[in-house]
Amino acid sequence: MNDAENRHDPDTLTAVSETAVLQRLFPRLPAADGALIGPGDDAAVLAAPDGRFVVTTDMMIHGPDFRLAWSSPFELGWKAAATNLSDVAAMGAAPTALVVAIAAPGDTEVTTFEGIADGLREACLALAPGCGVVGGDLSVSSTMTIAVTAFGDLGGRRPVLRSGARPGDVVAHAGALGEAAAGLALLFADAVDADGEPDAGRAAAARIRHPRLIEAQLRPRPPIAAGTLAADAGATAMLDVSDGLAFDAARIARASGVGIDLDAQALGIDVERALGGGEDHGLLATFPPDAELPAVFRVIGRVTAGAGTLFVDGVEHTPVGWDPYAGWDGVAG
């Protein structure tokens, strides 16, 4: 490295104090409308006007959950927020706040954390306005890890569980089906090097060819507002489709002790991908037959008798879990 390059060495996590890094991140993070005490003390204090709050946590790990050669820091922050917001929405709640713990190798540039903060902010603004980041933690780790805990307000609603579906209910879905999986398949096919490892240059080229599907994978836009709409419309059961429609529909069937019969014709052109592809984070809900469905939901099946069984067009279907990175080494790329 010559002198000119040396002079532009970026700040890294270990070169800059944690306090200084946080001072660069705080202004980028979205404020939460419900924050009574925000970041900076031992803990935050959040309003819970309903006398209850919804809470969910999910961790994204470099390797099994994302690749730095494929995702920008902005997209990591966005996706970490979006997937957690979606779990809050699936209870019939409106997201209010996040806390975010990030660990990364010591030589990670501070600009990477700034990008993650920007993604967290823009996802909150776009998907759940008023929801903000009220606290967090920053650590050094050899494996980049983003742990988000998200909170929501039920606003007096009964939480919508997985266990409330009843025979005769309609099954409906809001959001994308199979697009995130299609995007990931494109990345696996076109954005790897000769050894099969993720490659940033090829990913950039693949994005130009397939911007919509790759963005569906790296920067999903789950229909967060559909959660409270579904609850208000009387949804009897609901969940966030993270592991594929078939696998998650079977979860409702088991939890509710019912059968679920999906209508293949309602699942688009690529039925297999719609059934098996995970990470779209749409909402799958059941409604009483006379319910007036929110416009964002499409009917894709019905609830039948049949303790815990999933059917497609009346034929029993065995769902397979979504584990696209299984077998990868979890380090390279």
Residue numbers at the binding site for a copy of itself (CB under 8 A):
36-37, 41-59, 61, 63-65, 87-88, 90-91, 93, 97, 99-101, 103, 134-137, 139-143, 145, 147, 149-152, 154, 159, 161-162, 238-240, 330-331
Is residue 279 part of an annotated ligand binding site?
yes
Give the separation between CA 64 and CA 216, rounded to whole angstroms: 18
311 within 8 A of 274, measured Cβ to Cβ: no
Which long-range contacts link 249-252 to residues 24+ away (Cβ below 8 Å)?
Answer: 249/171, 249/284, 249/301, 249/310, 249/319, 250/308, 250/310, 250/319, 251/162, 252/162, 252/165, 252/284, 252/286
Q: Give min distance, CB of 108 to a copy of itself, in A.
A: 13
Is residue 243 part of an annotated ligand binding site?
yes
Per-residue CA distances from 35 to 135, 142, 241 (Å): 10, 33, 29
Give whichever of 159 and 324 is closer to a copy of itself, judged by the CB atom: 159
Give whichever of 58 and 215 is closer to a copy of itself, judged by the CB atom: 58
Give whichever of 255 and 266 is closer to a copy of itself, judged by the CB atom: 255
Q: Give min distance, CB of 144 to a copy of itself, in A.
A: 9
Is residue 42 part of an annotated ligand binding site?
yes
Give whichever of 37 and 189 is closer to a copy of itself, judged by the CB atom: 37
Is residue 83 part of an annotated ligand binding site?
no
18 within 8 A of 24, measured Cβ to Cβ: no
Give whichever of 53 and 78 is closer to a copy of itself, judged by the CB atom: 53
Q: Give min distance, CB of 107 to a copy of itself, in A.
A: 12
Per-residue CA distances from 269 to 178, 222, 240, 264, 294 (Å): 10, 21, 22, 9, 24
Residue ranges for the binding site for Mg(2+)?
A: 42, 56-58, 87, 137, 240, 243
